[in-house]
Structure formats: C-alpha cells, structure tokens
Structure 1
Amino acid sequence: MSIPSTTDIGSGARGLTRPWALTDYSAAAKIMKNALDHGANFWNGSLHYGPPHANSLQLLKYYFDNHPEDADKVVLSIKGAYDPKTHTPDGSPEGIRASVGEALKVLNGVKNIDIFECARVDPNVPIETSVRALAELVKEGKIGGIGLSEVSANTIRRAHAVHPIAAVEVELSLFTTDPLTNGVADTCHELGIPLIAYSPISRGWLTGGFHKPEDIPANDMRRILPRFQPGVFEKNFKLVEAVERIAKRRGTTVAQLAIAWVLRQGAIPIPGSTKDVPLTEQDLQEIQKLLDALPIAGERYGGQHEKLLNL
C-alpha cells in the first residue's frame, strides 16, 4: 500500500473538550480537499471522534457527498468497537459487527471502509477471536482490510497469523518512542505491515505553541493529560526547546522536523507534511542524544486509558 501522506479526520461538533479548533463541515471539507490534492490520501477517522450524531463519519459522509470523484482516491481507515462513555473496547464478534454496521450506515455507500480497526484491544476477548470476526467482514466485502491499534508486538504476530494485517496504528513521536524499543516497529517492518504513527507532533508539544501550562485553553483536554500538568510541563518543555534549536538551525519548523523524524523511523505519520525535511545521520544522532538526556515525564493518558495501551 503506497501512502504518501495522511490526514486525521476529527469532528466539528460543539460542546466537546478537544485539542483542536472547532470548525464546520464546509470549512473542514476545504481543508480535506486541499490535503488530498497535496497527496494526503490516507484518511483516519473514528466512530468516537465526536458524539454519535456528529462524529468523523458524518464529516466523511458530507465530504464524499460533495466530492464523490474522490472516493477511490482515498484510503479510509476507521476505528471503532469502543465505548467512549465507559472507555471500554468491545472486541467481541457481536460488538465488532455492530460497530462496522454503524459506520457503514452513516457512510451510506459514499465511501468504502478500506481498513477497520478496533480502537483498542479488548482484554476480555482473545485477539484471534476479534481478528476472525473482522476476517469474516473482509470476506463479506464490508471492509477491505484489518488494522490494529495500540497493540504489542506479540499481539501483532498473533493477529497476523489469523489474517494478514493491513496496518498497525500507534502513537509515535519524539515524546513517545516506545514502539521503537518494545518490538512493535521491528515486528511491523519484519511482517511488511505499514506502521501508522498518530500524534507525531505530540499533541501540540512540537508546534512551538506552548511555553507554559497557561498557554493551553481552559476547555482543552490537554489540561487533564499527565504530560501537560504543572511541574511536569516544565520538565518536558526542555525537549521542546532543544528541538526548537535544531529546527531553527535547519531553517524549518519544529513540527516539520518532528514529522520528518517519524518518517525516518519507517512510519507513516498522521497528519503528514507536504514539505520534506531531509535529516542526516548527524541530525538523527543529535536528536537521539537529546532523547537520551531529556526523558519525557508523565504517562500518555493516565487512568483507564493508559491500561489499554500495548496489549
């Protein structure tokens, strides 16, 4: 699968605590069209990116209703089988089938689901059971392929033994390098599975927009994330400052440098970038020294969310 760049499809629904600016569907569609025109043809959405009446599936439906000619140009990956109200995954065959059915109902034929992935592994359901259920949906033509999200290297191997896996999505950035040391990246490369890296700019850390906790809007979900808390924020900002110095010397933005680093790890970042920042071996060595000297403090999510990672 050739994927030059990617786009993460969120919702424009109001009233939600979120790390991105609110927008309406028409404005979002213009951005999506521009992204596709610049090569970002891998689109990532979810049934729980927004409430049931206004999540990313509704936005995608709006887009392809207005741009039906783009349906075959986009590789669409959808996450589901997850209850955002209780923060619990449902990897049962019944839960997966219901989730895929809901997604297809919203899309209403305007676009196929090229990849479907359970947003998290259900600890109460063997991964083989979940993948067999997804494989049946592939056979029925309801989804094109099977993806995995936030899984361990062992789970990837177990899943891939049941049915070929089309993509593995994990958080990967200068702030979250775990997939490079826990076997996930190596396993994907070995099995020929595209590694999809979400949050490559670390939930905004690597944009240069935050210099103190007060810079985060009051209703922003980052206010409750462990890595943004006062006391921890100051420690983590040291890495941002160090990366800023490299970016300034290279004549690029911090975000472009961060995304370029993710690409050099053999991953496909969401979101992607249209400007290539070639990193030399010297650059990579310098960045690695920073990562070794300035370890990130705080969990990624904390609480129940953290327990569902790397299963």
Structure 2
Amino acid sequence: FLRVPIVTNHVELNLLNTTALDNGQVDYIKQRYMRPLAASPLASGRIENGTDELAVRVRIKLQEIAIKYSTNIESIAVAWLIKLGALPLIGTTSEPRIANIVAAFSIELNNQDWYEIYQSSKQDIF
C-alpha cells in the first residue's frame, strides 16, 4: 500500500504506562521496524508530580536510583526508556525538562537498576 516503508511506530510508553512493553508491542516494533518512539515519556508530569499510589511508588524508586547516578528522576525515567531501545518523543517547551531528557542519553543504567525501576511500576510486585 505504501511506497515508503514504515520505519518506526510511536506508542505511549513511560513508567506509569508500560502496557506497550507488557503486551509485546515494543518487541514487535523493534523486530519489525526499528526503535519505538515513546510518547509521553514523563507521563505528562505525573512521574514528578503525581499523587496516586503508582506515581508515588515509582517516584520513590527513581529518587533512590537518581542518587546513585548523581542525577534527577526525570533523567533516570528517560534513561530507562532509552535502555529499553525506545526514543523519547517529547512535547515540552520547558528548558529544564528538555535538559533533563538530553542528560538521560549519557546515563547507562545497569540491568539491575533498570529492572528495579520496572518492577516499581507494577501493581503486583513480582
């Protein structure tokens, strides 16, 4: 149908919405195309400011890991996506937030930290 091949896909993906990872969409995109584009990588500010149980639980873990890497929670949240192979699709005009996202590209999360962050996003801790 298309004369130009599809080379990526964007899905909502962040630590407060891991559905695309959990249901295999991210794996499919990576196998079929290239790198998925992660829309709303900071969950529209909920990662930093959300008051619901999930946001608070994830933020606590991000704060713990951020100290280890001498950075902030936004950079760690985006570094988590980058390690997954996704590219963050940002929609902010906030210069500090953009700087935090850029900083994420220089953070190399180890596998244990990546998994602990992911685990914090699950309702049922496995």
TM-score by length of 2: 0.75
Q: What is the DSSP-based 3-state SS (H/G/I as helix, E as strand, rest coil) of the residue aligned with 1:167? A: coil
Residue aligning to 1:292: 122
CA distance, structure 1, for counterparts of residue 31 and residue 87 of structure 2: 16
Residue aligning to 1:280: 110
- Mapping of 1:1-12 within 5 angstroms? none
Are 1:186 and 2:27 counterparts? yes
The residue type paired with residue 166 of structure 1 is V
Q: Answer whether contact 1:198 1:270 (CA < 8 A) is retained.
A: yes
Residue aligning to 2:58: 239
Closer, same or farther in 2 for the Cα pair 1:253/1:265, shift >3 Å? same
CA distance, structure 1, for counterparts of residue 18 and residue 39 of structure 2: 12
Q: What is the DSSP-based 3-state SS (H/G/I as helix, E as strand, rest coil) of the residue aligned with 2:31? A: helix
1:112-137, Cα deviation, whole Å (9 max, x unpaired): xxxxxxxxxxxxxxxxxxxx3xx3xx
Q: Quote how far apart the aligned CAs of 1:201 are.
A: 0.9
Residue aligning to 1:263: 82
- Mapping of 1:29-40 within 5 angstroms? none
Q: Answer whether contact 2:8 2:33 (CA < 8 A) is retained.
A: no
Q: Answer whether contact 1:172 1:199 (CA < 8 A) is retained.
A: yes
Displacement over 6 Å in runs of 4+: none
Closer, same or farther in 2 for the Cα pair 1:290/1:184, shift >3 Å? same
CA distance, structure 2, for counterparts of residue 181 and residue 235 of structure 1: 16
Closer, same or farther in 2 for the Cα pair 1:184/1:234, shift >3 Å? closer
The residue type paired with residue 279 of structure 1 is L
Residue aligning to 1:251: 70
1:170 to 1, 11, 24: 11
The residue type paired with residue 102 of structure 2 is T
- Mapping of 1:152-167 within 5 angstroms? 164-167=5-8
Q: Quote how far apart the aligned CAs of 1:249 are.
A: 2.9
Q: Answer whether contact 1:201 1:255 (CA < 8 A) is retained.
A: yes
Are 1:202 and 2:21 counterparts? no
Q: Answer whether contact 2:58 2:117 (CA < 8 A) is retained.
A: no
RMSD over equivalenced CA pairs, Å: 2.3
Q: Answer whether contact 2:9 2:37 (CA < 8 A) is retained.
A: yes
Closer, same or farther in 2 for the Cα pair 1:197/1:211, shift >3 Å? closer
Higher RCO, 1 vs 2 (CA within 8 Å, ≥6 residues apart): 2
Q: Answer whether contact 1:205 1:240 (CA < 8 A) is retained.
A: no
Q: What is the DSSP-based 3-state SS (H/G/I as helix, E as strand, rest coil) of the residue aligned with 2:121? A: helix
Q: Answer whether contact 2:26 2:36 (CA < 8 A) is retained.
A: yes
Give the number of the structure whose residues are more often strand, by fraction: 1
Identity of aligned residues (%): 26
- Stretches of structure 2 that go unaligned for 5 or more consecutive residues are 91-97
The residue type paired with residue 270 of structure 1 is L
Q: Quote how far apart the aligned CAs of 1:175 are.
A: 0.9
Q: Quote how far apart the aligned CAs of 1:287 are.
A: 1.6
Give the number of the structure whose residues are more often helix, by fraction: 2
TM-score by length of 1: 0.33
